[in-house]
Amino acid sequence: MGSFGTGRAPATARASAALLSGVALAALAGTPAMAQDISGQQAVAGQNVDDAGTAKAAAEKNAKGATLLDRVLLLSRTGETAIESLSSSSHIDQEQLDRRMASTVSEMLYGVPGVAVQTGAQRVRSTINIRGLQDAGRVAVLVDGARQNFGIMGHDAESLLFIDPDLVKQVDVIRGPVANTYGSGAIGGVVAFETKDASDFLHDGETWAASTTGRYETNGQGWTTGATGAYRFNDAADIIANIVWRDYGEYKDGDGDRVGGTGFDMLSGLVKTTIRPTENSELKLGWIGSKDDWSSVGGDENYDVKQNTFTARYNITDEDRKWLDLHINTSFSKVDMDRERASGITNYGLDTYGLDIWNTSRFDTGEFSHEVTYGGDWLMDDVATHAPGGGSDFFNPSGKRRLWGAYIQDKVTYDWLEVIGGLRYDNYSLKGNGVDNSGDRVSPRITVGVSPFDSEALSGLQFYGTYAEGYRAPTVAETLISGIHPGGAPFPFLPNPNLKPETAKTWEFGTNYRLNGIFNSDDNIRLKAAYFHNDVDDFIGFQEGNPTCSTPWPCSQQNQNFANAKIEGFELQSLYDAGWGYVGLSASVINGHKTDKSGIREELDTIPSAQVTGQLGLRFLEDRLLVGTEVQYNAAPRGNTVAGDYTLVNAFAQYNVNDNLKVDFRVDNLFDVTYVNALSDPSTGVLYEPGITLKLGATMRFGG
């Protein structure tokens, strides 16, 4: 893939995007087009479309089917839905992603309680925050099971995720260290992105299918063009390919002022093949890649990023052998970022290798049902940076970090009682610049859930309590960072080879509630709520050196272990669906601080705003038309001096024109509010978010 530069050329971009779409469609279709239903695979949220023959049937199934909290979690290793899970979990499906017309990670995760996203000015690079924790692997981010660990030290978001929403079919979120079966270090939680499969795209009886999507956004004159093609060789093998091109100019904030450095170009794609050796086994081989170009807000830096992720995932299960539900995942992710300054080009590279193996055995002992999950995982980060004049970048030094762990968990169910007990062992080693560190720990988890009522109205009410611990090893950058701060504040960063791992200890108390047939046979309500308290011992963060230094900047800074960080909060997610419409409400309130070894208390600058999100949707024209609105209130955060409180209103409409064409319309920030992300860094100036943005898109599908 060649470089696309950073200049804005909408006409050229549209021509290039059209050419890319045409090439992809021609290569993947390969036969005369026959018009087919497009809504079957998009209106039925998060489900296989083989059972959807027409747009109307699919829409009716979506309207009268289960809510999102009833969908099986990708992250669940025991086949649980979100409403069944004794944890704070959320599911985002294809229908939600389409409705949001998402172009960023932040838009994909809109309204998820306890989750916030810190973005750069260009919006394509994102850091996910769960319950006030982010960066350095505190939140495990998975794409098709592959860990995404790339990050650079600086004033902006450190952990940088690049994933195009048009490649994604669903997102699952688990909040808190109860997610410790998904890899080392996830003391904040896990976010798993799953890309599209051929089975999601091909209808029953089809051998091939192809679609093209076009979208325009008024704010920044953003163009998106994508093409998807899938082919079924036989019942045992299929393949899908997707390509997406985005060209976005600099947006305007709510005051109508253009925000410099906010434009970007992005080319993304995926290829995934699924092979089914037997009726009970499946092998998925995939590639996901992207190339991004942008300039800094000040215009003095140019960035070029290339990312490639390769995955191989195998699973075998057999209902006749309940002890067998085996999964083997391997992955390799490579990220290369070039930062061009007047002094030269600095290259940041990260190669991440991963292996994850687990099995779930199911059996009964008397009246107790057991689901025992046991496995292990291994991960290696190989960091290499090259600065102008040779050597590595002082602020992002080279080095290697290896993490491995093993775990066992037993989920025991007896009538109204459910108990989950587990242990995880973690081990790490870190090498670089003469440092050779290692450590290990065992982390427990215990959860008790009860469903005490038998009446029809209350049988779906469940209470649970959890105590869980997590363990996060220091990263290469945290340990080895050094050098002189650039610009007008020339203080040194000092390495700290004596950093200890972080240990998180979390208490959580929650409730799940579900009820069907409240006012009629088609309606239902789902609700999850939780309170949590998280103590993170030896929390890692920057501390200033000599406090008597007379300069207006610190004499030095060094990553050190604080005594602890304490975070607590409340989360709510709920949805009522009447078939002809729905209404939802989610909320989160989080507070936190850190305390150094001398007992001095500071606010945590990664605590997101208290947030309340409401949504309303109405279905018309035999469910072919969906219109709705979203309202979100964000309170002023404590740790950010430039971010205030604000309320955003969005509106959307989706219309299945016929079985061949779907049209989407959306307005974000309807009242043109001027606001700042609560997680933005005030030391780099005020970065205002986009003002009113109108989006219009259309999707055409063919198959045969």
Q: What is the pLDDT of residues 281-297, one digit of tens each?
A: 999 999 999 999 877 77
Q: Mean of the pLDDT values across residues 312-320?
A: 94
Distance between terminal CA atoms of the chain?
31
Q: Cβ neighbours of residue 547 under 8 Å, at least 6 residues apart?
A: none
What does the alpha-carbon distance between residue 189 and residue 175 come to, in Å, rounded to a whole number?
A: 4
CA distance 286 to 330: 11
Higher per-residue pLDDT: 251 or 156? 251
Phi/psi at 3 (5° precision): -75, 140
Residues 6+ apart with CB under 8 A from 484: 394, 490, 491, 492, 493
Above 70 in pLDDT, residue 36?
A: no
pLDDT of residue 326: 97
pLDDT value of position 486: 61
30, burial (CB in 10 Å: exposed 0-12, middle 13-18, buried 19+): exposed
pLDDT band at 81 (very low <50, low <70, confident <90, very high): confident
- pLDDT exceeds 60 at position 137: yes
Q: What is the pLDDT of residues 594-603, one digit of tens each?
A: 999 999 999 9
Q: What pLDDT was estimated at residue 456?
A: 92
Write the Ramachandran bin of 5: left for phi over 0, alpha for psi from -120 to 50, otherwise beta: left
The lowest-confidence range among 204-213, 438-447, 637-646, 694-703 is 637-646
pLDDT score of 390: 59
pLDDT tens readout for residues 489-501:
666 778 889 999 9
700: nearest Cα among 13, 39, 32, 28: 39
Query: Which pLDDT score, from 0 to 100, does residue 299 have?
Result: 67
Q: How many angstroms separate the CA atoms of 103 and 61, rounded? A: 27
**Comparing 150-154, 227-231, 575-579, which segment has the lowest mean pLDDT?**
150-154
DSSP string, 170-234: EEEEEESGGGGGG-TT-SSEEEEEEE--HHHHPPTT-SEEEEEEEEEETTTTEEEEEEEEEEEEE
DSSP-assigned beta bridge partners for residue 209: 230, 703
Q: Of the given ranges (233-242, 301-310, 361-370, 676-685), which has the lowest mean pLDDT?
A: 676-685
> Given a cut of 50, is residue 455 above it in pLDDT?
yes
DSSP 45-59: TTS-STT--SHHHHH
Taking the model in full, what pTM does it have? 0.89
User: What 8-state DSSP symbol labels residue 635?
Assistant: P
Q: Which amino acid belongs to residue 353?
A: Y
Predicted confidence band at 33 (pLDDT cuts at 50, 70, 90)?
Answer: very low
Residue 23 has pLDDT above 60, yes or no: no
Answer whether residue 170 shows pLDDT above 70.
yes
What mean pLDDT is reported for the chain? Answer: 86
Cα–Cα distances in angstroms (integers) from residue 685 to residues 126, 211, 263, in the given order: 18, 43, 18
**Residue type, position 578, single letter:** A
* 626 has pLDDT over 90: yes
Whether the per-residue pLDDT at 387 is higher than 60: the answer is yes
Is the Cβ–Cβ distance between 623 and 63 less than 8 Å?
yes
What is the per-residue pLDDT for 25?
A: 37
* pLDDT tier at 22, thresholds 50, 70, 90: very low
pLDDT at residue 235, rounded to an integer: 94
As given in the structure block, the two tokens for residue 68 are 């999102």
With CA atoms as reference, report the closest residue to 65 among 545, 522, 674: 522
Q: How far is CA 448 from CA 1, 8, 119, in A?
A: 52, 56, 37
- Least confident range of 24-28, 127-131, 256-260, 441-445: 24-28
Model confidence at 41, pLDDT cuts 50, 70, 90, reads very low
- At 53 the pLDDT is 36
- pLDDT band of 276, cuts 50, 70, 90: very high
Q: What is the pLDDT of residue 681?
A: 79
Question: Tokens standing for 183?
Answer: 């890899």
- Token readout for 198 is 């051929």
Residues 6+ apart with CB under 8 A from 540: 136, 474, 478, 499, 502, 559, 560, 561, 562
Greater confidence (219 vs 23) lies with: 219
Distance CA 593, CA 589 (A): 14
Look up the CATH architecture of domain 10-703.
Beta Barrel (2.40)
Instruction: Give the pLDDT confidence score for residue 18 in this predicted structure.
Output: 41
Give the pLDDT of residue 550.
57
The answer to whether residue 642 scores a pLDDT higher than 90 is no
The confidence score (pLDDT) of residue 14 equals 43
Mean per-residue pLDDT, 665-685: 90
Confidence bin at 15 (pLDDT 50/70/90): very low
Tokens of 111: 């309204």
Residue 261 is predicted with a pLDDT of 85
Token output for 160 = 């940088």
pLDDT at 154: 65
Tens of pLDDT, residue by residue over 401-417, are 999 999 999 999 999 99
Least trusted range by pLDDT, from 29-33, 460-464, 562-566: 29-33
393's enclosing H/E stretch is: none
Is the pLDDT assigned to residue 300 strictly greater than 70? yes
At residue 205, does pLDDT exceed 60? Answer: yes
Q: Is the pLDDT of residue 1 over 50?
A: no
| 3-state DSSP of 345-377 | EEEEEEEEEEEEEEEEEEEEECCEEEEEEEEEE
